[in-house]
Amino acid sequence: MPELPEVETVVRSLKSLKNKKIVRIKYYSEKVAYNFQISKINKILKGRTFKSISRKGKYIIFNLKEKYLICHLRMTGYLYLSKTLPIKKNHIRCIFLLDDNQFLIFGDIRKFGGFYLYNNLNELNSKIGIDPFNIMFTESWLENNLSTKKRMIKHLLLDQKFICGLGNIYIDEILWKTQVSPKTLSHSITSSKNLYNSILSILNDSIKFHGTTIMNFKFGMGLGIMKTKIISKQYLI
């Protein structure tokens, strides 16, 4: 399952989306729409420009000027840019045709991943906690917030409302590095320095290697993601 390093890898691979315009969207499953009617997606987003691509926790945030399209990959979702369309569309759920004739392709084997559409980021910010790379995430923040909670540390770190982006893979690595038992109660951790440093170092190291997940994780362009062939953009119109 993609966690913060994998999602950050995807975001970095999509940076060239900035200033590209959506020409049309082709969808193959209504399940990709979490909080809106997929049938209205073209009316809402057609002609909008990608202002920026960012991440909070495990969420990919597309700023489309007064609209935010937010993607969660869930267990097996993947997003990538391509100059061609895939021959086989078994797991393709949604394709964005861009004004430079490239495609933003969203696929998902298990069909759990999809998109939210918001006018602002208030709702997203209200349901998840601090991101480990937020400037407000400091050793003092961690120490203060650990001291007010009486939960097993692994369960607390898994809670996306506490710190967003961490999952089972990296929490195990972090706790192993700090030699803290997963069952340790959070309020009993008297010094958070090692834990804080381990969170950042493990995440940064993982990002350098494009994450840890090897099954169903795909990103980038021209990386042998799947066999493709050139198809006219008329396919999407």
Q: Could you report the per-residue pLDDT of 67-102, keeping only the tens digit for each? A: 999 999 998 999 999 999 887 778 899 999 999 999
Q: What is the mean pLDDT of residues 108-123?
A: 94
Q: Name the residue among 101, 100, 84 with its Cα closest to residue 225.
A: 84
Report d(CA 147, CA 156) in Å as an integer.
12
Q: Do domains 4-128+213-236 and 139-208 have the same CATH topology?
A: no
Largest CA distance in the chain: 62
Report d(CA 141, CA 146) in Å as an integer.
9
Report d(CA 123, CA 61) in Å as an integer.
13
Would you list the domain boundaries of the chain? 4-128+213-236, 139-208
pLDDT at 162 over 90: yes
pLDDT at 160 over 80: yes
pLDDT of residue 191: 84
Report d(CA 116, CA 125) in Å as an integer.
13
pLDDT at 198 over 60: yes
Q: What is the pTM of this model?
A: 0.88
How many CA atoms within 13 Å lie on the side-chain side of 152?
A: 7
Q: Could you report the per-residue pLDDT of 59-73, keeping only the tens digit for each? A: 999 999 889 999 999
pLDDT of residue 233: 38
For the residues of 35-60, what is the DSSP string, one character each?
SS-GGGHHHHHTT-B--EEEEETTEE
pLDDT at 212 over 70: no
Q: What is the mean pLDDT of residues 142-167?
A: 97
Mean pLDDT, the chain, whole residue set = 89
Class of domain 139-208: mainly alpha
Of 3.20.190.10, 3.40.50.2000, 3.30.390.50, 2.60.40.10, which CATH number belongs to 4-128+213-236?
Answer: 3.20.190.10
